[in-house]
Amino acid sequence: MRVLVFDTNAFVQDLGLEGHAFQLLLLHLNVVTDLVAFPIVVLQETSNKYEEFLRKVVSDAKKASERFERLTGTALEPPDPRIVVESISQYRAKLMSKFGGLAEAFPYPSIDHESVVQRAILRRRPFQDSGAGYRDTIIWESILEIADKPDIDSIIFITNNSKDFLAEDRLAPDLIEDLRERGHPDSLIRTYGTVKALVDAEILPSIEQFSEVATLIEERNIPGIDFDAWLQDALFDCVPAADAARAIAGIAPGDADTELSEIYEIKEFKVEHGYPLPNDEHYLIVSVFAGVGVNVCASWVQYGDSLAVTELFDCEGTGQPAPYACVYAGEVIWITLSLVVHSLVPFTWSVEIISVESTGSESET
């Protein structure tokens, strides 16, 4: 039996499982697994993240409503608290239902407290040198108990928690030792940092097919659509300003305030891969060489703390902000995106950015 296990961080950026990577995984689950195993701690943490996120959305909506009423004198209807409570209570069941009959919740592992404490004292992974790692140890012990079940052929573990579980993109030596002590081969567990990484490695190669729709997109030949204008608008809506600033001027996220200014040119456009989806939809991986402009704003403190910010402001002749100033930076950069074409007529689609790169170095989103 093939088993798929998620760490909580696999869900945090896509709690509704609506992104392209999760949608592809759900469509082709049978390619990679026979069972989706949910350690109970992952279910609890993911549900808690959902509640935190939903309550923040409600709080932000309430503040926006109050601002709207102050500006217009008209009150907006706030979210119904009963819907919020109901959504939170139903989230865990809805999450598991996304995986159909393949999902199964696994209880807390049977490991005793003494063994966990001993592991913490020895700083055996997943415990860190700081002593943190109890939650991750519970997840790992759950995976070991799954591995001990009869007829387990392989386990895929999706986690980007490299500090606790991984060493150079594979299981940490302490965890491999745990497998060996239980009589399992090192190769029993494969790891991926993201759902997208799993999809790219094990699903897309088996379904690739360059369709007529992919050809039309590559030729920029969509009926009734000014394709370059559409693409510029789509990129403007979804390219992260911080990634563009890094690709254009080498400014690390947080070193300055950034805002996308414009997509001023489409120089090259290429469909790298095409994959058919149900209901005549198509999933495409696209590379775009586009002119992108950003506004970079910084205080005199940010100017002094970041060499890239200093160089940009000095190059533009602005010099040190006093106390805060903005400059424009533009360059042609590479953007890789995933494009789902829902229909050609009318042209309906969804876009997600995969990476933003300068001609010399890469900035992953």
Which long-range contacts link 179-186 to residues 24+ away (Cβ below 8 Å)? 179/144, 179/147, 182/144, 182/147, 182/148, 184/147
* Cβ neighbour number for residue 205 with a 10 Å cutoff: 11
pLDDT confidence of residue 262: 97
Q: What is the pTM of this model?
A: 0.81
Q: Please report, for residues 94, 101, 213, 217, the alpha-carbon distance to residue 337 in angstroms, rounded to integers and kept in the order given.
A: 29, 32, 17, 13
Residue 360 has a pLDDT of: 59
Cis status of the peptide bond prior to 323, with omega within 30 of 0: yes
3-state secondary structure 314-354: HHCCCCCCCCEEEEEEEEEEEEEEEEEEEECCCCEEEEEEE
What averages of pLDDT result for each successive group of 10 residues across the chain (365 residues)?
A: 96 93 94 96 96 92 88 85 90 94 94 88 87 91 95 95 87 94 95 95 87 88 91 96 95 94 95 89 94 95 92 81 89 96 92 89 42
Question: Per-domain residue ranges for the chain?
Answer: 2-205, 209-364
Task: Give dist(CA 146, CA 357) in Å, integer.
Answer: 40
CA distances from 286 to 161, 214, 334, 352 (A): 29, 10, 10, 10
What is the distance in angstroms between the CA of the first residue and the CA of the last residue of the chain?
A: 34
Residue 224: left (phi > 0), alpha (psi -120 to 50), or beta? left
pLDDT score recorded for residue 223:
87
